[in-house]
Amino acid sequence: MDPARLTAEFPAPSYRGTQQRALGKIGEALESDNDVVLVRAPTGSGKSLLARAIAGCARQPDEADPQDAIGAYYTTPQVSQLDDVAADPLLSDLQVIRGKRNYSCLLPGETDTPVDRAPCARESGFDCSIRHRCPYFSDRAIASNRSIAAMTLAYFMQTAGSESFGRRDVVVIDEAHGLAEWAEMYATIDLRPSTVPVWDEITVPEIDGPEAAARFADRLVDVCTRRKDTLVGAEELSIAEVTERDRLQELISNLKWFVSDYRDPASASTWVVDSAGEGSPVTIKPLAPERYLNHTVWERGNTFVLLSATILDKEGFCRGVGLDPAKTALVDISHTFPVENRPLYDVTQGKMTYEHRDDTIPEVARLLVRLLAKHDDEKGIVHAHSYAIAERLADRLREFGVDGRIRTHDSDDRDAQLSSWLATDDPELFVSVKMEEALDLAGDRARWQVLCKAPYPNTRDSRVARRLEDGQWGWYYRTALKTVIQACGRVVRSPDDFGRTYLADSSLLDLFGRSRGAMPDWFAAQVDRMSSPELPAFDPDAANAGSADSSGGSGGSNQSGRQTGRRSSRSNPDDHPLADVWGTD
């Protein structure tokens, strides 16, 4: 790549904030013989534009020998981020390609069929006469040939080893802070009746560790392969059989990968296995899936640039994803949003650990009533951390009679409730679970938020337990801090935006003390300015003052699923930024 082109490749007509200085720092790091540059870029630094400039420095065909890798990949784990890139006119030369199920077949009678279930996937030897016009295959051909191909991290990893998406000169990974976790998630093998089509044909033995799991995997591969070969040999498959065939192929490949990695003495991965005994589901999970990342990511490019606001610790990050810190640079970009526009408030009510929760949740619920009264005409969001906490808070709020201002969701209606909440102008409080990332709550979308619990990883997860057994407490605290910083960024999206963050769990203060050394300066400045606010007294009537019901209007009233017709919607409900952020395709 040629970092000297960075300025010329910057796609916007002028620079904002720290962009010009950021490009200079990134250029220096790339010139200094680093294979990987980590860019710690906070919200508002225009990461996508920086990413485009970096990708534009990739070697071009007229600069390359035939064996040289050329061009660039842009990839991100967040579907919503890829959507933003696709919609940005300044990034129009990033050719976006998505997974097959995002495209529909063109054949008559099949226009509602996703490409991965179309006749070409169902019928053996099907020769589609319009394949050259097929939206998926033509997008794939264009992305394969364009200088910058853009895709989700899931698709990028799935296409490792494919002819269309071979090695390129530069790979830019946006929102890269969770790379180790994403790789662990993709490489995890979940074996249960709903995921193993041949479950009824196998006997699951007692599995007490990875060696027993590897032996079981060998047997399972044989059974799956027999069934898959039967399906592959059939003339025509039903849609259900196509699904089964694809699932079997994926399962066989994942199981073989596990067995070969586990039996490779040179592999750095540690595998942990969860099983409740004979006949029970089995989950096989990798820790530090270095070899998996080598195959799916690190072997796909010459130079890598990883961007995120929350790559907190270079050494720890490198260890988690199998990079050499000596060949990796960390570039820090300062925050351009005034610290006074993103205040933190200490409103702690006690600990939310499991043993203290019974005492703390009622206090947090009372706190929410006081905050509703303070913000009687502003929307807010509660980060409840888990559905169990969300339900208990919602129950209390219902008992207090303030449910007219509360919206909740469960795992099934998560996207629909979020869409409705984003669309309403009513000053609702959204009690959310796992929405600390990839949610853009600019301006009046939310002016305040509450963090109910220090988001430590679940110690009952075998991967977490294993890491703590190995003494990785730094990782444990940094993981929680990363989520807190991500959450704090939801309600302040531009230099003139303003949003308050209230901290309800006293463990958050302890977390700040333990992880101070890993904080970016701009977040430490937020913590240093933290104060305790004056709040109104507990008064459900005052909290209800902002309710759509309180003025006697028609329309929305009930918690979860309330109708929101009283005030006009300001945005398209489908156009929300978390639509499928946890999707894998």
Q: Nearest residue by C-beta to ligand SF4? A: 134
Instruction: Out of 134, 207, 272, 446, point to the residue binding ligand SF4 (CB under 6 A).
Output: 134
Q: Is 115 in the site for ligand SF4 (CB under 6 A)?
A: yes
Instruction: Out of 69, 72, 105, 344, point to the residue binding ligand SF4 (CB under 6 A).
Output: 105
Q: Is 239 in the site for ligand SF4 (CB under 6 A)?
A: no
Q: How far is the CB of 125 from ligand SF4 (least distance, A)?
A: 12
Nearer to ligand SF4 by C-beta: 115 or 361?
115
Q: Is 119 in the site for ligand SF4 (CB under 6 A)?
A: yes
Nearer to ligand SF4 by C-beta: 131 or 414?
131
Q: How far is the CB of 486 from ligand SF4 (least distance, A)?
A: 37
Cα→Cα distances 23→28, 51, 333, Å: 9, 10, 10
Computed from CA positions of residues 8, 10, 16, 22, in that sequence, does the dihedral angle turn out positive or negative? negative
Q: Is 106 in the site for ligand SF4 (CB under 6 A)?
A: yes
Listed ranges 3-11, 62-70, 104-112, 470-478: which one lies at the site for ligand SF4 (CB under 6 A): 104-112
Query: Which residues in 36-95 contact ligand SF4 (CB under 6 A)?
Result: none
Nearer to ligand SF4 by C-beta: 119 or 573?
119
Q: How far is the CB of 106 from ligand SF4 (least distance, A)?
A: 4
CB-based contacts of 125, cutoff 8 Å, min separation 6 = none
Instruction: Out of 64, 107, 231, 442, point to the residue binding ligand SF4 (CB under 6 A).
Output: 107
Cα 195 to Cα 53: distance, rounded to the nearest angstrom? 42
Nearer to ligand SF4 by C-beta: 106 or 524?
106
CB 251 within 8 A of CB 200: no
Listed ranges 5-13, 123-131, 156-164, 528-536: which one lies at the site for ligand SF4 (CB under 6 A): 123-131
Instruction: Out of 54, 120, 251, 364, point to the residue binding ligand SF4 (CB under 6 A).
Output: 120
Sole residue written with tokens 């309710």: 547
Nearest to 577 by CA among 32, 82, 33: 82
Single-letter code of the amino acid located at 487: A
Listed ranges 77-85, 89-97, 127-135, 369-377: which one lies at the site for ligand SF4 (CB under 6 A): 127-135
DSSP sequence for 464-511: HHHHHHTT-HHHHHHHHHHHHHHHHGGG--STT---EEEE--THHHHH
CB-based contacts of 482, cutoff 8 Å, min separation 6 = 177, 310, 312
Nearest to 60 by CA among 171, 149, 156, 168: 168
DSSP state of 16: -
| β partners of residue 478 | none
Nearer to ligand SF4 by C-beta: 135 or 401?
135
Q: How far is the CB of 129 from ligand SF4 (least distance, A)?
A: 8
Q: How far is the CB of 132 from ligand SF4 (least distance, A)?
A: 9
Instruction: Out of 58, 118, 176, 217, point to the residue binding ligand SF4 (CB under 6 A).
Output: 118
Q: How far is the CB of 43 from ligand SF4 (least distance, A)?
A: 39
Nearer to ligand SF4 by C-beta: 120 or 180?
120
Q: How far is the CB of 231 from ligand SF4 (least distance, A)?
A: 18
DSSP state of 413: T
CB 252 within 8 A of CB 225: yes
| β partners of residue 328 | 36
In 354-472, which ranges are continuous DSSP H helix? 357-374, 387-399, 414-423, 462-469
Instruction: Out of 73, 74, 137, 475, point to the residue binding ligand SF4 (CB under 6 A).
Output: 137
Nearer to ligand SF4 by C-beta: 66 or 108?
108
Q: Is 246 in the site for ligand SF4 (CB under 6 A)?
A: no
CB 410 within 8 A of CB 377: no
Residue 473's CB: how many other CB atoms inside 10 A? 11
Listed ranges 130-138, 203-211, 492-500, 536-544: which one lies at the site for ligand SF4 (CB under 6 A): 130-138
Q: How far is the CB of 104 from ligand SF4 (least distance, A)?
A: 8
Listed ranges 110-118, 241-249, 281-289, 382-390: which one lies at the site for ligand SF4 (CB under 6 A): 110-118
DSSP sequence for 164-214: TT--EEEEEEESGGGHHHHHHHHH-EEESTTT-TTGGG-------SHHHHH
Computed from CA positions of residues 160, 162, 167, 171, in that sequence, does the dihedral angle turn out positive or negative? negative
Q: How far is the CB of 208 from ligand SF4 (least distance, A)?
A: 45
Q: How far is the CB of 251 from ligand SF4 (least distance, A)?
A: 24
Output the six-digit token pair for 166. Answer: 């071979």
Instruction: Out of 90, 128, 160, 524, point to the residue binding ligand SF4 (CB under 6 A).
Output: 128
Q: For 277, left (φ over 0), alpha (ψ -120 to 50), or beta?
A: left
Cα 117 to Cα 123: distance, rounded to the nearest angstrom? 10
Q: Give residues in contact with ligand SF4 (CB under 6 A).
A: 105-107, 110, 115, 118-120, 128, 130-131, 134, 137
